[in-house]
Amino acid sequence: MQEKAKFMSKQKDCFKCKHYYVTWDAKFPRGCKVYEVKSASVPSLVVAQATREGCTAFEEKANNQQKKKDSLDLNRDDLW
């Protein structure tokens, strides 16, 4: 049971990773672009089971607020 707890503490949150995507396959709705994995469960679990190491490609997604700040706002008065 200690091994499972240790594994769970190392597990990455795929939903916060920029490589995570939702597939069109109803049987395998979750995917990882780096490991080229589609699964019914979270991709980091599949990777960890296969490699016994866990995901090493985790990169946090850019914050949506940061994306909004960086995008061009065409409603700004100084542009017109």
Is the pTM value of this prediction over 0.75?
no
CA dist 77 and 12 (Å) reads 43
Output 48 or 76, whichever has higher pLDDT: 48
Least Cα distance to 39 among 20, 67, 13, 56 occurs for: 20
In sequence order, the β-bridge partners of residue 17 are: 60
* CA angle 9–13–14, rounded 5-degree value: 140
Under 8 Å between Cβ of 24 and 67: no
Q: Which of 2-16, 23-37, 38-52 has the lowest mean pLDDT?
A: 2-16
